[in-house]
Structure 1
Amino acid sequence: MMGIVETKLKGPLPPNSVGHDAYNYWIRNREKKQGGGVMFLTKKDINVKGVIYGKNTVEMIMIEVEDRDKKSRKFVINYVPPKTASWEESEYKSMLEDTKIALTKIMEDGGRIVMMGDFNCKEICWEEMTVKSGDDSWGNALLEMITDHSMTQWIQENTRYRNEEEPSRLDLIITSEPRIVDKIEYKTPIGKSDQILIELELNEEKYMKRNEQYRNEEEPSRLDLIITSEPRIVDKIEYKTPIGKSDHILIELELNEEKYMKRNEQYRKGRMMYEKTNFDKIREFFQQENWEEIYKEETSVEEKWNILTKIYK
């Protein structure tokens, strides 16, 4: 399966032009303007049970795929163009609002969702989940959509490189399942594109839902939970035999802090080794001073402390 943005097409593809007729494809071209457009391609053996196209100026396609177990997943390809001279201010704001409505509806409808594409939203700091722009900006709207619907954003690298411009993270992958992505690879751009190719691998078997409570003939239930503030801090979860007579399984959790957290190791430098202190020598040193004479004119604790540390140094 492949999603492509900025196809810049003006009509349908010629027959047999994609993969020697090995793929089905769906196109949403931009109307009345140059550039833009999105496309989805799937191999012929993938069962696509439904397709929805973005309305008005929304450049989006959603396909619903059904697997062998009759479970469905929604895949969304979306392109949000930057504000250029070809867009009137009101027209551009209307496009952003329509895009927000379309994406929100997909999230609210629920299910298993994978969104991908160029969201043109470099003002978001995904590591801190903050926005550099104002409350009414597209960046703030996108971040609120993701947090309000408990979605996970996976891309951690810059995805666009052009000449001397500062690299930016425009292309995103957003999922409704927090651990469904098994691997992401960043590859060389296709053709003359200034945006990298992103290859995504899902591992549904590894992260399938499990019930954690089993008792006699009762229906198994999921009572035990693990909740984190960091979306990808959990590296591995293992479900093990209950302890003793418990009817709850043992859950073993492994965090990968080295991979997902920055550590400050500066505290390790210049530390005192107090276990090797020669206290007899210190007592002898201070006994040589005439403290009554030294502190005779000093009244405050701070002044006396300053004198003590000066003598000790």
Structure 2
Amino acid sequence: MGNKQEELETCVCLQGYDIIGITETWWDSSYDWSVGMEGYRLFRKDRQGRQGGGIALYVNDQLECMELHLGMEEEPTKNLWVRIKGRAGAGDIIVGVCYRPPDQGDRADEALYRQIGAASRSQALVLMGDFNHPDICWRDNTAERKRSGKLLECVSGDFLFQVIEEPTRRGAMLDLILTNKEGLVGDVKLKGSLGCNDHEMVEFRILRAARRALSKLTTLDFSRADFGLFRDLLGRIPWGKALEGRGAQDSWLIFKGHFLQAQERCIPTKRKSSKTTKRLP
């Protein structure tokens, strides 16, 4: 632990990070004296009654912050939530760090997703961590396992964005960054591993001007949609033959593909006005 802590402190000093999230700390009370870093406030949650796990969040002590307790009465989860007060003219940001063990049960998963849902209703959210869902394809929003599909449902249902695009451990994308504002997180880079850890460190910036940039987003303009052509295009498809012998997931992807093709032809888009950019989709 000593060498890894020294490497971490050296890395932090060289880069000048304001926030550092760590998963699988393996800390317990015996580390109380050795894990603090000068200039940072430490939030941590050690894994109780079992070796391994644990999470920590270091926040620059120049930033005003407080820990949030979301869903503490529920199934215990390995998450930390901290509200960081924005500087003058900027809103607060909730920053979270999560470690989801590969063998985590359904009840703990459901509690985690309820916490994410509660945090997503904030003005700005950045959640980072190791979610251990290697079978998810974030480019296509598909999953091989039902349990992984639950995370996709959480992300889409809470209107979140997943911003990491490269594998973070042995060709798998286990580590994620979720945010509720498009453009809030940028300059995402993988920075190699720390010590004997086999996960890539992920570096990113929180871009505080993201809310203003939302006015550049586009939305569907239903007032100019050709719904007659839309119905006609979907009506031409022999659905029985197209979906014959397909499972639920394959059938959904086929339907979704045809639906989006028809939408692109029949429903134009428009630039969102500043009056509507803060509304949920």
TM-score band w.r.t. shorter chain = 0.5 to 0.7
Aligned positions of 1:105-116 closer than 5 A: 105-107=118-120, 109-116=121-128
Q: Who is 2:83 aligned against?
A: 64
How far the C-alpha of 1:54 sits from its partner, in A, is: 6.6
Q: Deviations over 1:224-271 (max 9, x none)?
A: 861389xxxxxxxxx9xxxxxxxx99xxxxxxxxxxxxxxxxxxxxxx
Task: Please provide the CA RMSD for this pair.
Answer: 2.7
Tell me which of 175, 179, 200 is aligned to 2:183.
179
Structure-2 change in CA distance of 1:201 and 1:171 (3 Å): same
Q: 1 CA distance for matches of 2:113 and 2:213?
A: 33
Conservation of the 8 A alpha-carbon contact between 2:20 and 2:58: yes
Aligned residues: 203
How far the C-alpha of 1:16 sits from its partner, in A, is: 6.5
Q: Who is 1:242 aligned against?
A: none
Q: Who is 1:4 aligned against?
A: 22
Q: Who is 2:265 aligned against?
A: none
Report SS of the residue matched to 1:45. Answer: coil
Structure-2 change in CA distance of 1:131 and 1:18 (3 Å): same
Q: Deviations over 1:184-204 (max 9, x none)?
A: 110111111110000011222
Q: Deviations over 1:171-220 (max 9, x none)?
A: 00011111122201101111111100000112223x34279xxxxxxxxx
Instruction: State, as a whole percentage, how many aligned pairs show the same letter.
Output: 22
Structure-2 change in CA distance of 1:157 and 1:45 (3 Å): same
Aligned positions of 1:109-128 closer than 5 A: 109-128=121-140
How far the C-alpha of 1:103 sits from its partner, in A, is: 1.8
Q: 2 CA distance for matches of 1:210 and 1:178?
A: 9
Higher relative contact order (CA 8 A, sep 6+): 2
Q: 1 CA distance for matches of 2:70 and 2:30?
A: 15
Q: Deviations over 1:19-54 (max 9, x none)?
A: 3x2110011111111110100001110110343367
Tell me which of 81, 92, 97 is aligned to 1:77.
97
Partner amino acid, structure 2, of 1:38: I
Partner amino acid, structure 2, of 1:174: L
Q: Who is 2:56 aligned against?
A: 39
Partner amino acid, structure 1, of 2:106: K
How far the C-alpha of 1:114 sits from its partner, in A, is: 0.4
Q: 2 CA distance for matches of 1:79 and 1:146?
A: 16
Tell me which of 142, 145, 158 is aligned to 1:149.
158
Q: Who is 1:101 aligned against?
A: 114
Q: Which stretches in structure 1 are left out of the alignment for 5+ residues?
A: 162-166, 212-221, 230-238, 240-247, 250-313
How far the C-alpha of 1:126 sits from its partner, in A, is: 0.5
Q: Who is 1:275 aligned against?
A: none
Conservation of the 8 A alpha-carbon contact between 1:38 and 1:60: yes
Partner amino acid, structure 2, of 1:171: D
Q: 2 CA distance for matches of 1:4 and 1:79?
A: 9
Conservation of the 8 A alpha-carbon contact between 2:131 and 2:176: yes
How far the C-alpha of 1:13 sits from its partner, in A, is: 4.0
Higher helix share: 2
Conservation of the 8 A alpha-carbon contact between 1:63 and 1:75: yes
Q: 1 CA distance for matches of 2:32 and 2:98?
A: 23
How far the C-alpha of 1:130 sits from its partner, in A, is: 1.1
